[in-house]
Amino acid sequence: MTKLQKALITAAFIAAAGTGIFEARQASTLRAQVQTLQQQQAPLTDQIQQLQRERDDAANRLAALAAEMAGKNGNSTELLRLRGEVTRFRDAASQEDDPFVQTALAWKAKEAKLRKLFGDRPGQGIPEMQFLTEREWLDIARDSDLDSKAGISTALSSVRNKAKQLFVPRFQKALNKYTDANNGTPPNDLSLLRPYFDPPVDDALLQRYELLDKKSVEWQHGAAVIEKAVIDTSHEGRVEIGRNWSRVGSPEIQPGRYDFPRELAPVLEAYGRQNNGKRLEDFSELKPYITTPEQNAALEKYMSRPNR
């Protein structure tokens, strides 16, 4: 090769290497910027909510003082100071006009509504919900319909299902620790598992589960522990836990679900509330929850149908 050819090849190699280094640095810089933006995004909603709380507090104090002054001819200097404080908070919270902030606030509002739904319905919550993170609450609320009865029912079940999915690995780990520590012998009482939970769990949580009879179908499939009762069998499954596998089963379909009279829907709901989600085995069990003649007639007709 001539000196000119060598020089051209060397120059081309250097240019290619330089381009590669530049692109690698640029990609690294962009990744760092994306990571920084993601880190900044997380606390943004909390900051906005704090500003809103401070602004609302100042506005409430201003209204109270204005009412007092109207009746007692109070100090106008203090009133002006509070007005300035409210203006400052409004200016600080002006970033609410940003589309991202609007969306974030809408999601947070749905999360707060979902939590309140459980607060208004004490019997709908389960102890496993303590393991849900803020992000998991937000994700469920964001994708849920919280404005219709059916949507709310589905959302509540989604929360319970997610909570149980988070708890199952903890339970299985404790079960395996106990079994290993006792030469492969499973416990004969779930209270014996308490020392093997990390972090510890309370009795209310363990009491939602029971050991399976060794003759049961679930035991033959490998399960050792089962959830005692499911709150909404139409939307959530029952937990089964074994030494080597676990699952949150599929929702159960009640007999005759698809042709079940609409008039009896509130009766079935009342039955579920009073029986902690116990599966209905005999439709005659609904009779104590009948409140109208129409419901009674619908139940009698439904129970007398052929091939029921």
Tokens read off for 299: 């139940």
Tell whether pTM > 0.75. Answer: no
pLDDT category of residue 106 using cuts at 50, 70 and 90:
confident
Phi then psi for 243, rounded to 5 degrees?
-70, -35
Please tell me the number of Cα atoms within 13 Å of 61 on its side-chain side. Answer: 15
Q: Which residues contact 211 (CB under 8 A, 6 or more apart)?
A: 186, 187, 188, 189, 190, 224, 225
User: Residue 225 belongs to what H/E stretch?
Assistant: strand 223-227
pLDDT computed for residue 97 by the predictor: 61
- Number of other CB atoms surrounding residue 198 within 10 Å: 10
Quote the CA–CA distance of 286 and 276 in Å, as a whole number: 14
What are the CA-CA distances from residue 204 to residues 126, 127, 190 (Å)?
9, 7, 12
* 2-41 pLDDT per residue, tens: 655 544 455 444 444 444 444 545 555 556 555 655 555 5
Q: What does the pLDDT read at residue 166? A: 93
Residue pLDDT, tens place only, 254-307 = 444 445 677 887 887 788 777 765 666 678 888 999 999 989 998 888 777 654
pLDDT higher for 230 or 68? 230
